[in-house]
Amino acid sequence: MAIKFENITLYTGTGKKFTNSAIIVQDDKIIASGDEALQQEAAETIDGSGKTVLPGFFDMHVHLGMDGIADPFSQVETDTQATSAYRHQVNAIKQLQSGVTSVRNLGSKWHIDLSYRDAVNSGLLSGPTVYGSGQPIVMTGGHGYPLATEADGVDEIRKVARQTLKQGADVLKLMATGGVMTPGVDPGSPQLSEKEMQAAIEEATHAGKTTASHAQGTIGIQNAVRAGITTIEHGIFLDDKTIELMIKHGTVLVPTLAAPYYIVQNANTGGIPPHAIKKAVACFTAHKESFNKAVKAGVKIASGTDAGTPFNLHGDFAKELELMHEGGMTILDIITAATYDAAAVLNVQDTVGSLEKGKAADFILLNEDPENTIQAFRNIDSVYKGGKLVHDQRNRKFVHSY
């Protein structure tokens, strides 16, 4: 049955905005939007006066196996496989309730994100669409090793890449530098080499998959970009040369501004490992400055939170959008980065990521227009995935759809 939402403000996700507009969905697809939808009738019409409709958000960097506790690696190291699987489901539902209908999970021990993805896709569980990396690939003792696969040298990296793809990974995650959360490593120091990453990226490309690199320090970012990485995660120390290199190669930045923000904001609450606080504080200002420079230069941006890191909770996607706005992005560009451009990173932009005829009916209704107030991203009326109502904020109800 076709359902028409009319009298709405409509953001398509492709940089366009319409007022007093409409959208028509049938089953799991959009059959008309904008002027075309205004001219068509539907079996059911819903008056959306005062509502704003956006494509469902993509959070391009999450860890569903971590809750955002003060020391999430301790959680990873003590969870059983079953507990971790339950945790994935609980956190994924929080994402869905915040308007995130698709997540790119960049690191789960035992490749549990891939099993969770399959459970959602088969209808066994309700949740957002999941694109998973399984266990990240790191050098021995590299950043994130508690939930990763360690390997050294081109041949070992190539074999692990093939093994991870065999497990069904949608994306390979590689650690190009040290990071904040792992003790004994420096965020600015290179880890996997350009040649090592190139071997993994080559395997991913052969399999039709994409890649992502945790990359905070300048040299490591440059190594990853030259190796052909799809996205740079974090990008804390970006200089002009690195930004030019990213633009030349078409590399996308997933900034995860919320990750250091929440560590710094909660530094005195106790529980966050001291090494993480020290490194986050040292990186905080540089991260904001790097993001602002990247935006001004025209680097392609896709939204991602790094949800699961300390105090960076699943379901708080709006904070990342607010920080992106503070960093110089317009509301229209933020919406595109969180929808169509994110889908394009995953090569699924032809089927999802914008409110256009023939695409998946993943969309959200807000009670306000984000161009009037940034707080609108938090004021969710309802969430639809595959044309079905999955969250009704008015009644504070999560709707399971099997």
On whether the CB atoms of residues 307 and 59 are closer than 8 A, the answer is yes
Predicted TM-score of the model (pTM): 0.96
Task: Please check whether residues 74 and 41 belong to one and the same domain.
Answer: no
Task: Please check whether residues 6 and 130 belong to one and the same domain.
Answer: no
> Which CATH number fits the domain that encloses residue 38?
2.30.40.10
Task: Please check whether residues 222 and 335 belong to one and the same domain.
Answer: yes
Distance CA 114, CA 22 (A): 36
Task: Please check whether residues 164 and 180 belong to one and the same domain.
Answer: yes
The reported pLDDT for the residue numbered 180 is 87
Q: Which has the closest alpha carbon to 68: 104, 48, 95, 43?
A: 95
Task: Please check whether residues 67 and 18 belong to one and the same domain.
Answer: no
Number of domains in the chain: 2
- Domain residues for 22? 2-55+353-398
With b meaning 16 or more CB within 10 Å and e meaning fewer, what string describes 82-121?
Answer: eebbebbeebbbbbbbbbbbbbbbbbbbbbbbbbbbebbe
> Which CATH number fits the domain that encloses residue 169?
3.20.20.140
- pLDDT tens for the chain, residues 1 to 402: 899 999 999 999 999 999 999 999 999 999 999 999 999 999 999 999 999 999 999 999 999 999 999 999 999 999 999 999 999 999 999 999 999 999 999 999 999 999 999 999 999 999 999 999 999 999 999 999 999 999 999 999 999 999 999 999 999 999 999 988 887 788 889 999 999 999 999 999 999 999 999 999 999 999 999 999 999 999 999 999 999 999 999 999 999 999 999 999 999 988 899 999 988 999 999 999 999 999 999 999 999 999 999 999 999 999 999 999 999 999 999 999 999 999 999 999 999 999 999 999 999 999 999 999 999 999 999 999 999 999 997 665 555 543
Task: Please check whether residues 35 and 184 belong to one and the same domain.
Answer: no
Task: Please check whether residues 67 and 40 belong to one and the same domain.
Answer: no
Task: Please check whether residues 269 and 365 belong to one and the same domain.
Answer: no
Residue 47: C-alpha distances to residues 11, 12, 361, 375 (Å): 17, 19, 18, 23
Task: Please check whether residues 337 and 203 belong to one and the same domain.
Answer: yes
With b meaning 16 or more CB within 10 Å and e meaning fewer, what string describes 340-375?
Answer: bbbbbbbebbeebbbbbeebbbbbbbbebbbeeebe
User: What's the length of the chain?
Assistant: 402
Q: Position 287: which residue type?
A: H
The reported pLDDT for the residue numbered 402 is 37
Task: Please check whether residues 288 and 327 belong to one and the same domain.
Answer: yes
Task: Please check whether residues 15 and 81 belong to one and the same domain.
Answer: no
Q: Position 259: which residue type?
A: A
Task: Please check whether residues 130 and 257 belong to one and the same domain.
Answer: yes
The reported pLDDT for the residue numbered 183 is 78
